[in-house]
Amino acid sequence: MSMTRAELQDAARGAFGGDELAVDRWDRVVEMGWLTMTVPEAQGGLGLGREAAGVIHSEMGRTVVPDPAIAQALVIEALSAADAVPDRDDLLARAMGGEVMTASLSLGDALDCVPDADRASHVLSVTAERIALLPLAAATITPRATWDTTRRLFDVVPGTGGITLAEGPAAATLAERLQQTLLLALAADALGGAAAILERTIAYLEMRQQFGRPLALFQALKHRVADMKTWLSAAEALFWSRTTDPAATLAEIGALKAHACTVYCAIAEDAVQLHGGIGLTMEYYCHLFLKRAMLDAVLGSDADYWEERAGRRALRATG
């Protein structure tokens, strides 16, 4: 990408700023042009590709941003790919301009786990046979209770009407592309969150003292943190490798998402323990990351599904 990963990361971190977590930053996301990140320049976007999108979703994961940015990215990608649809350019411009249009964060045909459906104008319906943008004005929208309250999820039963973006073989191809986008975004969110809670844990161990010495000087805790850093570094390397590989398959990206979320859960759970008694306080920031980690792990299908799929693919490849 024309802007380096580090430059974009610095810009995103500066835009979010501070240590405040779980704050709605939708206006800032729109203002910075991040919704246009992967859209070709000919369609009014920045044309920066998946690596840039990975940086943005990772930075949003660092501060546990509650905005529907992942769902909006799916809608924008679907609209961008729908060349022959009347009013496509107008809808795409509205979506890139911040009008909330949402999509399910699960992989099934049902419109469940739809972020911010109560304030969205449209929802994206994705099946292997048809991809459509449906109005939500006449839809039935039911809130879904979740342990992680940083994301507001809904079940949606749409009304009639809507705009078909792709059908038949074109729909199947676009559906797989959208699944890859969803999985990469969830993996980025997970790795950003894992990095943030690990940094906060290290800072806590350096500050907190026991027997007149910082906890960070105790060998047992040093080794535990070193293990967490090793898990994270390996997962980050895999993430950037897959993100920049145009030949990466859906099964490989799914396995990446499963691994990233497993690492996030493990680090968040260890962080609670390393914070001692204060880590067990439900209102403390450790639990913001832990709950987001557990939700990321099940959205886009869980580790059992993706590891089995990747394993079967590997067996077929080896005969």
- For 132, the enclosing helix (H) or strand (E) is strand 130-135
- Amino acid (1-letter code) at residue 88: R
Amino acid 163: pLDDT: 95
Give how far Cα 172 sits from Cα of 65, 74, 125, 132, 228, Å: 31, 15, 13, 12, 39
Residue, of 18 and 202, whose pLDDT is higher: 202
What residue ranges do the domains of the chain occupy?
Answer: 5-163, 173-318
15: pLDDT confidence band, cut at 50, 70 and 90? confident
Tokens of 245: 């590989």
**2 pLDDT higher than 80:** no
Residue range 188-197, pLDDT digits in tens: 999 999 999 9
Backbone phi, psi, residue 114, to 5°: -100, 115
Q: What contacts 11, CB < 8 A, 6 or more positions away?
A: 32
Amino acid 16: pLDDT: 83
Residue range 234-265, pLDDT digits in tens: 999 999 999 999 999 999 999 999 999 999 99
173-318 shares the fold of 5-163 = no
Pairwise CA distance, residues 143 & 207, whole Å: 41
Mean pLDDT (whole number) for 203-222 = 95
Pairwise CA distance, residues 198 & 195, whole Å: 5
**319 pLDDT higher than 80:** no
**58 pLDDT higher than 70:** yes
Radius of gyration of the chain (CA): 20
Pairwise CA distance, residues 160 & 162, whole Å: 7
Mean pLDDT (whole number) for 62-66 = 95
73: pLDDT confidence band, cut at 50, 70 and 90? very high
**1 pLDDT higher than 80:** no
Amino acid 306: pLDDT: 95
Mean pLDDT (whole number) for 23-28 = 93
Residue range 117-164, pLDDT digits in tens: 999 999 999 998 999 999 999 999 999 999 999 999 999 999 888 999
Amino acid 203: pLDDT: 97
**21 pLDDT higher than 80:** yes
Residue range 27-51, pLDDT digits in tens: 999 999 999 999 999 999 999 999 9
Mean pLDDT (whole number) for 274-281 = 96
Amino acid 90: pLDDT: 96
Nearest to 111 by CA among 155, 147, 76, 69: 155
- Report the CATH number of the 173-318 domain: 1.20.140.10
- For 241, the enclosing helix (H) or strand (E) is helix 219-243
Pick the CATH number of 5-163 from 1.10.540, 1.10.3470, 1.10.3120, 1.20.120: 1.10.540
